Amino acid sequence: MIRIFFRGVENLVSQLGKWFSVSGSIGLIAMMLLITIDVFGRFLFSKPVVGSYEIVEFLMIVVIFLGIPYGQVRKQHVNVELFAQILKGRARAVLDSITYFLSFAIFLMITYASVKQTLNIWEAKQSSLVLLIPQWPIMAVMALGVALFTSVLFLDMLRNLLKAIRKL
């Protein structure tokens, strides 16, 4: 019963991560197109795209924070395995559990801070300087990306804890 629930949650988080990653990729394409149009407009017609710098800033947040969770789902982030490579079985699972726990704890604090910052920006009604775009939706995207990444770290921690317990 627990395994079925765990797999269901893993599948949900994996699918969300995939959709977040696709959204981030679309943001990257939009960013490249906007920069290209801005450069050509600036040099060929002396008419840059107004506010392109702000839009690109916002799109960078989308690209980065929506791509991070799926990278963790696929285990594509850089791992330094100085000591871990000599460990096997239960010892490796315990070390990985500790690593994931520390990562989870740090990113849980980052998630909390990003949600709090999103709410502060929303309450202050902050917007960009040129286009007057409200900043809270972009901060909310960042908070969602970090929250999903934190969820993936939590699931990885649980998976490794279960491995360590089974190998007792």
Strand partners, 147: none
DSSP 91-160: HHHHHHHHHHHHHHHHHHHHHHHHHHHHHHHHHHT-B-SSS--BSHHHHHHHHHHHHHHHHHHHHHHHHH
Number of domains the chain contains: 1
Q: Which domain holds residue 146?
A: 2-166
CB 148, CB 13: distance < 8 Å: yes
Grouped pLDDT means (10 residues each) for the chain, 168 residues: 77 89 94 95 92 94 93 80 75 86 97 98 95 95 96 92 76
Rounded to two decimals, the pTM is 0.87
